């Protein structure tokens, strides 16, 4: 019998909620928490963003650790009571890419230790860090699959935590005309978030609300700041690889969910992918982008997207049973996933 990687639980801390249920309810309703930050753009306007409403004004690594610990705790709470008390679960932590402007110093292994201290428990020594931004979530799921299948771990937690709400990060992206401001309509709204999913092997689609059926990766030469014409070769390659792994065509996919956060480049990339791959007529092929509500959240994007699907499956409001998820970094990395979900309308 074929085994699949299933999403068994999730946790979130976003600008619209400090739990997965609160965040997903707000996202479903289209609610956001965008407000003026203390940062000023080059044009003199206050930059608008989405900040996680935690009580204390923690900053830097401490803030990221608090956010991540909150999301991971929701996954730990979902572990079966029959699991041995001394069992150590691996944690794969997704963080900002190393060349991200304004990246907080000390990210990596020290952040996992901080999360352990916040939670008062240890994770398995095979825990690791993926510093690849938005695409890192897909890399982490691939790594988790190997831990589940080859290392025989019963459960693995994949978490992502990231923030764009730091002075150096906002200054760098504003200088490159990437931030949405009154003088720039082609930009993203910066945000921050932590999200986590509990993964385990399941025997069928019905054994978990959401299962991953295929992963695909590729590279794009015409990146967002390159001067080459965009053909979408990278995202097309990643989607085709994911479809091949899942053994289905794009016509079998009911809906899409992506990390689109406002910039025209990535909407054009998504449109090119569909026009180049889809050969059968579809009545509709909608796309969800949670960044509309929580802003650009970088490495937390995919775990947050999976959380939205997980709650949609549990609450039975999904617009279909097969989903395509895709992600694009600012550099050449692209990733795609084919996900099956119960709980369609």
Residue by residue, what is the 3-state secondary structure of the chain?
Answer: CCCEEEEEEEEEEECCECCHHHHHHHHHHCCCCCEEEEEECCCCCEEEEECCCCCCCCCHHHHHHHHHHHHHHHHHHCCCCCCCCCCCCCEEEECCCCCCCCCCCCCCHHHHHHHHHHHCCCCCCCCEEECCHHHHHHHHHHHHHHHHHCCCCCCEEEEEEEECCCHHHHHHHHHCCCECECCECCCECEEEEEEEEEEEEECCHHHCCEEEEEEEEEECCCCCCCCCCCCCHHHHHHHHHHHHHHCCCHHHCCEEEECCCCCHHHHHHHHHHHHHHCCCCCCCCCEECCHHHHCECHHHHHHHHHHHHHHHHHHCCECCCEEEEEEECCCCEEEEEEEEECCEC
pLDDT above 90 for 318: yes
Distance of CA 80 to the CA centre of its chain: 25
Domain 4-202: give its CATH code. 3.40.47.10
What does the pLDDT look like over 200-216, one tens digit per residue?
A: 999 866 679 999 999 99
Report the C-alpha gap between 209 and 310 in whole angstroms.
6
Between 58 and 127, the higher pLDDT residue: 127
Q: Which whole number is the average pLDDT over 255-280?
A: 96
* Mean pLDDT lowest among 78-82, 113-117, 326-330: 78-82
**Region 147-152: what's the mean pLDDT?**
96
Other Cβ atoms less than 10 A from the Cβ of 278: the count is: 15
CA dihedral (215, 93, 33, 38) positive or negative: negative
Residues 51-97: tens digit of each pLDDT: 999 887 889 999 999 999 999 999 999 999 888 877 899 999 999 99
Question: Where does the pLDDT of residue 284 fall: very low under 50, low under 70, confident under 90, or very high at 90 and above?
Answer: confident
The chain-wide mean pLDDT, for the chain, equals: 94
CA–centroid distance for 39 within its chain:
25
Cβ–Cβ contacts within 10 Å for residue 276, how many? 16
pTM over 0.75: yes
The tokens describing 47, both together, are: 């930059």
Beta bridge partners of 17: 14
Residue ranges of domains in the chain: 4-202, 209-341
pLDDT-based confidence at residue 252 (cuts at 50, 70, 90): very high
Which pLDDT band, with edges at 50, 70 and 90, does 1 fall under?
very low
User: Residue 134: what pLDDT?
Assistant: 98
Provide the token pair at 6. Answer: 């299933």
* Percentage with pLDDT > 90 across the chain: 88
Query: Span 245-257, mean pLDDT?
Result: 96
Q: pLDDT tens digits, residue range 168-200?
A: 999 999 999 999 998 899 999 999 999 999 999
Look at residue 106 in the predicted model and tell me its pLDDT. Answer: 81
Q: Can you tell me the mean pLDDT for 98-123? A: 92
Binning pLDDT at 50, 70 and 90, where does residue 342 land? confident
For strands 322-328 and 255-258, give the pairing. parallel
Q: What is the pLDDT of residue 343?
A: 67
Flag whether pLDDT at 110 surpasses 60.
Answer: yes
Please provide residue 304's backbone torsions phi and psi, each rounded to the nearest 5 degrees: -70, -40
Residue 43's pLDDT band, with cuts at 50, 70 and 90, is: confident
pLDDT tier at 344, thresholds 50, 70, 90: low
Computed from CA positions of residues 281, 244, 336, 329, in that sequence, does the dihedral angle turn out positive or negative? Answer: negative
Residues 6+ apart with CB under 8 A from 185: none
Superfamily of domain 209-341: Thiolase/Chalcone synthase (3.40.47.10)
């Amino acid at each position: 019998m074929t085994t699949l990687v299933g999403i068994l639980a999730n946790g979130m801390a976003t600008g619209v909620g400090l739990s997965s249920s609160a965040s997903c309810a707000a996202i479903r309703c289209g609610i956001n928490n965008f407000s003026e930050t203390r940062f000023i753009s080059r044009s003199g306007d206050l930059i608008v963003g989405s900040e996680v409403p935690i009580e204390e004004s923690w900053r830097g690594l401490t803030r990221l650790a608090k956010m991540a610990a909150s999301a991971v705790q929701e996954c730990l709470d979902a572990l079966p009571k029959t699991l041995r008390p001394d069992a150590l679960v691996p944690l794969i932590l997704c963080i900002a890419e190393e060349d991200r402007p304004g990246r907080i110093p000390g990210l990596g292994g020290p952040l996992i230790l901080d999360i352990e201290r916040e939670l008062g428990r240890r994770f398995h020594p095979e825990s690791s860090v993926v510093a690849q931004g938005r695409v890192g979530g897909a890399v982490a799921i691939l790594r988790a699959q190997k831990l589940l299948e080859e290392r025989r771990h019963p459960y693995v937690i994949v978490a992502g935590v990231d923030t764009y709400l730091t002075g150096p990060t906002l200054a760098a992206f504003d200088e490159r005309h990437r931030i949405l401001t009154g003088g720039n309509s082609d930009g993203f709204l910066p945000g921050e978030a932590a999200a986590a999913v509990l993964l385990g092997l399941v025997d069928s689609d019905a054994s978990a609300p959401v299962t991953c059926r295929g992963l695909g990766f590729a590279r794009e030469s015409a990146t967002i700041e390159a001067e080459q014409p965009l053909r979408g070769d990278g995202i097309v390659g990643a989607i085709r690889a994911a479809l091949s792994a899942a053994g289905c065509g794009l016509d079998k996919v009911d809906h899409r969910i992506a990390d689109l956060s406002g910039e025209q480049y990535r909407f054009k990339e998504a449109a090119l992918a569909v026009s180049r791959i889809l050969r059968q007529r579809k009545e509709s092929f909608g796309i969800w982008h949670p960044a509309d509500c929580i802003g650009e959240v970088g490495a937390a994007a995919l775990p947050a997207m999976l959380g939205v699907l997980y709650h949609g499956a549990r609450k039975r409001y999904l617009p279909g049973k097969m989903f395509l998820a895709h992600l694009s970094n600012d550099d050449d990395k692209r990733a795609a996933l084919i996900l099956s979900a119960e709980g369609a309308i």
